[in-house]
Amino acid sequence: MHMQSIDNSIIEKAAGGDISAFEEIYKTFSSMVYTLAYGVTQNRMDAEEATQDVFVRIYRSLKDFRFGSSFSTWIYRIAMNTAINVYHKNTKRRNSSIPYDEAGDLIPAVPHASKDEIEKQEATAQVDTLLKALSPEHRTCIVLREIEGLEYSQMAEVLAIPINTVRSRLKRAREALVAYCRKEGIHHGL
């Protein structure tokens, strides 16, 4: 899988204030940003908040983008940092207030769902449970690699860390998942 891309002329138009060009950026990257934000936060409301924050930051910072790295790498970096910040901020808030009802995060049952749809929902719920067992930093690595399909070199660029650090974080994340699966008695294919 390759990172999303967009023509530089659209970026330049959006940086100059062209709203339709900015909408094109939003359409191209919003799904990827939400997927990454959800992977990090494991909460739909937090992922929506992070996605909104990401595009506000992109809108305000477009004029500063210098085309030194790829645009998608720049967006991944903003999305990852924003999602981690939203996760920490909202986790702190939830832990200091009334117990938070995460029922809104459960996948709603689809009436008359087929066996395949039910199995897909169950698999998604299991992936979410496994990701919640990781730190946001390890979650980010797993999401970038396993869900977004980035290569190690792309991950190193997005995370702004050496490729060997990417490999070791991914290894630690996978080890943590295996340990969690063993502890919970979950059969895994890791």
Average pLDDT, the chain: 81
- Could you tell me the sign of the dihedral formed by the alpha carbons of 51, 106, 137, 172, in that order? negative
Query: What percentage of residues in the chain have a pLDDT greater than 90?
Result: 35
- The span from the CA of 59 to the CA of 62, in Å, is 6
Which pLDDT band holds residue 2 (cuts at 50, 70, 90)?
Answer: low
Q: How confident is the model at residue 62 (pLDDT cuts 50, 70, 90)?
A: very high
Residue 67: band (very low, low, confident or very high) from pLDDT cuts 50, 70, 90: confident
pLDDT tens digits along 76-125: 989 999 998 898 888 776 665 544 444 444 444 445 556 666 666 666 66
Q: How far apart are the first and last CA of the chain?
A: 20
pTM of the model: 0.68
Q: Where are the alpha helices (DSSP H) in the chain?
A: 8-15, 19-41, 44-61, 71-95, 115-132, 136-142, 152-159, 163-184
pLDDT band of 18, cuts 50, 70, 90 = very high
Spatial distance between the Cα atoms of 166 and 153, rounded to a whole number of angstroms = 9
* Bigger pLDDT: 164 vs 160: 164
Residue with more model confidence, 96 or 72: 72
Measured at the CA of 30, the angle between CA 102 and CA 7, to 5 degrees, comes to 165
Place of tokens 């390759």: 2
* Domains annotated on the chain, with CATH: 1-98 (1.10.1740.10), 113-190 (1.10.10.10)
CA pair distance 149, 154, nearest whole angstrom: 10
Residue written as token pair 């992109």: 58
